[in-house]
Amino acid sequence: MSDWKIPLYRIYTDEEDEKIVNKIIKRGNTWAIGEEIEKFETKLSEFLGVKYCVVVNSGTSGLHAALLAHEIGSGDEVIVPSFSFISTANSVLFVQGTPVFADIEEENYGLDPKSISEKITNNTKAIMPMDYSGQSCRIFDIKKSIEDKKILLIEDAAEALGSSVKGKKSGSIADSAVFSFTGNKVLTTGEGGAIVTHSEKIFEKLKLIRSHGRVDKTNYFENPLDPNYVGIGYNWRMPTIIAALGISQLGKFDKIIKLRQEHANYFNKRLEKYSEIKTPIPPEGYDHIYQMYSIRLSNKQIRDSLKDFLLKKRIFCKIYFNPIHLTEFYKSRIGSKEGDLPITEKISEQLLTLPLFPGMTMEEKSFLCDSIDEFFDTKI
């Protein structure tokens, strides 16, 4: 990232992060299973207004674990967006299920309830919508569309921790939800993830899945007796140091979100003069925490030209996301092709993600917007 005049993101950190991590290091033990893990889970549960939370080593592990806990497997179909990071679809394959791609809507860029309804079959076991760039999908509409059916709602909220819709935190509405704490997320621990649920049954399953199918009533590394293994599980535990860093990051989370929103508002005002640009202003009732700042250009040609122009100025920008169903793997796996999801394909050709991070300076913000001004002055 040091080669970029403006990187896509820069992690917000302070002395408190260093202190809490150093405390664990100097403790000399319980780096693997320390009290900070449960403390982090409790704090996340309280923040989100959910009953249970299980932290894991990544958001991808979280998606996999959530599907396993809800007993989704061979023969089960899970409706997912193609407009997402590839883990959303891959996690269904991990459990031998079948990912079924539905189209998105053009306001929140989340799964379209109408498209979901068209994709439901007798084999549909779950819907797994994704919250794009820091804003909830139409989660209440999706939930209502399946309320008379025995279909689970598992929310991929990897990008939306801290956002809300109609006063409810993203992740608190579905049967279960999954978050990611990887480097570019609003709350980051480098890597890491969490699954939240209101179900005690799912919570107990998740703990077994996370740690070898083992009943851990005490710290495994401090118990001389052999534990009881009651099922198949993985090693998806979050290290203590990572959990401690999460606690510290959560302590300044409101400040981090406020800074992101202030930067986004600056960009929105600077770019509103362009008819070729749609800025990410949330609909009424939705709170956007701007995990990413993605603008929508009027067509692919302008989007690609702007992207090349900014990259030449050493301003990092990127396309989030190209459609999963058009990757080489999924085209060969399920026979998907161009035209299958027209809205997804159109949006993917028009969006461009620009740099935005809490510690962004006015100089950086001005340079980015001035560069966009220069592009439209000279290229259009």
Domain-wise residue ranges, the chain: 15-103+110-251, 253-379
Provide the pLDDT for residue 11.
Answer: 97
Tell me if 55 sits within 8 A of 245, measured CB to CB.
Answer: no
User: Residue 208 in 3-state DSSP?
Assistant: helix
**Which architecture does CATH list for 253-379?**
Alpha-Beta Complex (3.90)
CB within 8 A of 69, min separation 6: which ones?
176, 195, 202, 205, 206, 209
Instruction: Identify the CATH class of 15-103+110-251.
Output: alpha beta
Integer-rounded Cα Rg, in Å, for the chain is: 21
The residue type of 193 is G
Q: How far is CA 349 from CA 129, 168, 319, in A?
A: 20, 32, 9
SS3 content of the chain, % helix, strand, coil (to 5): 40, 15, 45
**pLDDT on residue 1:** 46
CB count within 10 Å of CB 105 equals 17
Q: What is the pLDDT of residue 29?
A: 84
The Cα–Cα gap between 186 and 257 comes to 7
CA distances from 370 to 35, 186, 210, 366 (A): 49, 26, 48, 6
Same fold, 15-103+110-251 and 253-379: no
pLDDT one-digit tens code per residue, 23-65: 999 998 888 889 999 999 999 999 999 999 999 999 999 999 9
N-term to C-term CA, the chain = 30
pTM: 0.96
Distance between CA 139 and CA 113 in Å, rounded?
Answer: 9
Position 2 scores a pLDDT of 63
pLDDT per residue as tens, the chain (380 positions): 469 999 999 999 999 999 999 999 999 888 888 999 999 999 999 999 999 999 999 999 999 999 999 999 999 999 999 999 999 999 999 999 999 999 999 999 999 999 999 999 999 999 999 999 999 999 999 999 999 999 999 999 999 999 999 999 999 999 999 999 999 999 999 999 999 999 999 999 999 999 999 987 777 777 777 888 999 999 999 999 999 999 999 999 999 999 999 999 999 999 999 999 999 999 999 999 999 999 999 999 999 999 999 999 999 999 999 999 999 999 999 999 999 999 999 999 999 999 999 999 999 999 999 999 999 999 75
Is residue 257 classed as helix, strand or coil in its secondary structure? helix
How far is it, in rounded angstroms, from Cα 183 to Cα 34?
23
